Structure 1
């Protein structure tokens, strides 16, 4: 489990078809490496990877075929800037939101506009189930960064976030270009709510199911009225 608060940047190098080497950039190396142990989980651009080997300035991890198929890790041989975060320790502060490192799909940067106090960044969403978890003022992880959705369409085919200067300066968002792909993970709370309410039918049937499941008597019985 992660928080979506990036601890440093690294570079990704492909060792083989399913193994990658992550070299930490100096500014964040201590935060990533100081307590790192074999078997630990590290989020690399929001993808949870398991440490198989520890290097002086980084680590080696395996990426399964499913991970490569679903995330940006399978799109290129190397990446100069990847966001890094070690797993959440029990008792640590949760400054962002619960991020699992299990990416739902990818998106694409449309534009990034600098304002007086932040950056307004817009992403389109590739064909994947994540669209239904994109809601106004909800949480989303973009390349592992915990962000709040400022605006989106009903279908969740695009969304906009406001990025504060410190997040812009300390993550790889600043290096993205229009057309760059990013990893997206929807809020896990929304996924569980969907499951518990029985929303397992195609999207077009969700409203009908909600009407059948959530009634006045259901709300009264569960203390909402």
Structure 2
């Protein structure tokens, strides 16, 4: 589990079909206490540390992960966002991010304003687009962002990115048409399932309806 608050930028190098090496600057201490078996979000993809390096680690990405995310598209030395896993008692400044990427989005535009960067993404997959709602949470390459605006179907959305986030992440590297990893809000996925299955999913469960959610403060 992660929060979507990127700690540093590293460099990714493919090592054969499925193995990856991830490294970061020796001056960075944010990820300096990793052990084998730990989880790290790499551009929003949860990877397990198989072996530790001085300032990096080796991990394996499954064929499913490579197919669903950008990790299979990146060239040697590509810059990636890195976040260590959430520890019990740590502050949660973003939102709950699992590191299980739902699919790809594509940058359409990034426009600098007086106070932020207004960035627009396209989401061609409708099974992913349905989780994108105005003012909802979205993880873009592992970065916790708030949806500023989107169409009803969620096939495009915009975010307003403050300068420090733009400067300290790989958002600054993106070019129009470039793919990004997207993960929808996990809470929305569970709500959708309960609404779809209704009380038939569990005989002793309450009937989850729009009225029920409104009454309990979800809407």
Query: Please, what TM-score do these two structures have when normalized by structure 2?
Result: 0.89
The CA distance in 2 between the partners of 1:157 and 1:12, in whole Å, is 29
3-state SS, counterpart of residue 89 of structure 2: coil
Does 2:56 match 1:61?
no
* 8 Å CA contact 1:120, 1:163 repeated in 2: yes
Pair 190,175 (structure 1): closer, same or farther in 2 beyond 3 Å = same
Pair 197,59 (structure 1): closer, same or farther in 2 beyond 3 Å = same
Partner in structure 1 of residue 170 of structure 2: 172
User: 5+ residue gaps in structure 2?
Assistant: 199-206
The two structures, once aligned, show a CA RMSD in angstroms of 2.1
* 8 Å CA contact 1:8, 1:25 repeated in 2: no
The CA distance in 1 between the partners of 2:213 and 2:121, in whole Å, is 36
* 8 Å CA contact 2:44, 2:99 repeated in 1: yes
Match of 2:99 among 98, 101, 116: 101
Partner in structure 1 of residue 17 of structure 2: 17
The CA distance in 1 between the partners of 2:52 and 2:85, in whole Å, is 16
Query: Please, what TM-score do these two structures have when normalized by structure 1?
Result: 0.87
3-state SS, counterpart of residue 189 of structure 1: helix
Partner in structure 2 of residue 92 of structure 1: 90
Partner in structure 1 of residue 114 of structure 2: 116
3-state SS, counterpart of residue 99 of structure 2: coil
Partner in structure 1 of residue 31 of structure 2: 32
Pair 199,59 (structure 1): closer, same or farther in 2 beyond 3 Å = same
* 8 Å CA contact 2:194, 2:208 repeated in 1: no
Give, in angstroms, the shift of residue 126 of structure 1.
3.0
Q: Map Cα deviations across residues 121-168 of structure 1 (whole Å, 9 max, x no partner).
A: 000013251111100000000000000000100111000000001100
Match of 1:163 among 150, 161, 164: 161
Give, in angstroms, the shift of residue 196 of structure 1.
1.5
